[in-house]
Amino acid sequence: MKKILVIGIGAGNPDYLTVQAINALNEVDVFFVIDKGKQKEDLGRLRKEICRRFIKDQDYRLFEVPDPERDRSPASYATEIAAWREKRVALYRSMISEELKDGECGAFLIWGDPSLYDGTLGILQQILAQGTVEFEYEVIPGITSVQALAARHKISLNRTGESIHITPARKLADGLPAACDNVVVMLDAGTAFNSLADDDLDIYWGAYLGTDDEILASGKVREVGKKIADLRSARKTEKGWIMDTYLLRRGLATE
């Protein structure tokens, strides 16, 4: 039987790797690396550095393929995502059937944790449901960008008894969810926090968390929102890409 490990590698700092993840890395015969283009070269480098640093016998194979093309501003988001996912399913299926021998262990190194805005587990489940290739798989959890954000700001994500909502920025077009005082925003291609009507919002923002380029900022959105937007735009231009996450928190009369 073939085995696949889906290993969370933490969101940025190689020191985020857990002992379980390091042990898992040392079991792997073939690493499947999805090349996400020039902008993400830095992330690819970090994955390779993790393999160099934590694997004792450097006799594993690396199988690198380009990520299937995807239209970033499609007429229908849902249709485009479904089509892109099908291409990924076909790609992953052929990698597992052709590049991994029976009895070998393959792995996907997942940025942060596989449970948070990552399609790998869904793709593997879809391949298994098709029944054309057999394998078993395991999931090794990692430190998410959300945990890194909270740790670096030295905050908890909620105040006593409150709920936490995690959302991609595109779902904030109609404002923050009414019933939730703590909203973690991910996958923001811009600065959605500056378009929200709420007047009393705190923001805890982090970009390139865990890396040497990390930037942190916090305060009332109405006071620091413009500064964060300028910083974000400048760093994105210099580096060619940016990845940021933030917590928005409604103020309370009493805590």
Q: Catalog residues that contact ligand SAM under the rule CB under 6 A.
A: 11-12, 111-113, 116-118, 144-145, 186-187, 206-210, 243-245
Spacing of C-alpha 203 from chain mean position: 20
Bridge partner list, 231: none
Minimum distance between the CB of residue 169 and ligand SAM, rounded to whole angstroms? 8
Choose between 162 and 213: whose C-beta lies nearer to ligand SAM: 213
Q: Parallel, antiparallel, or unpaired: how do β-strands 135-140 and 164-168 relate?
A: unpaired
Strands across the sheet containing 30-35: 61-66, 30-35, 105-110, 2-8, 135-140
Minimum distance between the CB of residue 147 and ligand SAM, rounded to whole angstroms? 8
Q: How far apart are the first and last CA of the chain?
A: 55
- Beta carbons of 165 and 144 less than 8 angstroms apart: no
- Beta carbons of 110 and 6 less than 8 angstroms apart: yes
- Beta carbons of 206 and 149 less than 8 angstroms apart: yes
Choose between 109 and 201: whose C-beta lies nearer to ligand SAM: 109
Minimum distance between the CB of residue 145 and ligand SAM, rounded to whole angstroms? 3
Choose between 100 and 248: whose C-beta lies nearer to ligand SAM: 248
Give me the amino acid identity at 84. Answer: W
Choose between 164 and 187: whose C-beta lies nearer to ligand SAM: 187
Choose between 89 and 116: whose C-beta lies nearer to ligand SAM: 116
Minimum distance between the CB of residue 21 and ligand SAM, rounded to whole angstroms? 13
Minimum distance between the CB of residue 153 and ligand SAM, rounded to whole angstroms? 12
- What DSSP string describes 134-196? -EEEEEE----HHHHHHHHHT--SS-TT--EEEEEGGGGTT-S-TT-SEEEEE--SS-GGGG-
Burial class (CB in 10 A: 0-12, 13-18, 19+), 199: exposed
Minimum distance between the CB of residue 13 and ligand SAM, rounded to whole angstroms? 8
Minimum distance between the CB of residue 219 and ligand SAM, rounded to whole angstroms? 18
Choose between 51 and 167: whose C-beta lies nearer to ligand SAM: 167
Choose between 61 and 227: whose C-beta lies nearer to ligand SAM: 227
- Beta carbons of 79 and 86 less than 8 angstroms apart: no
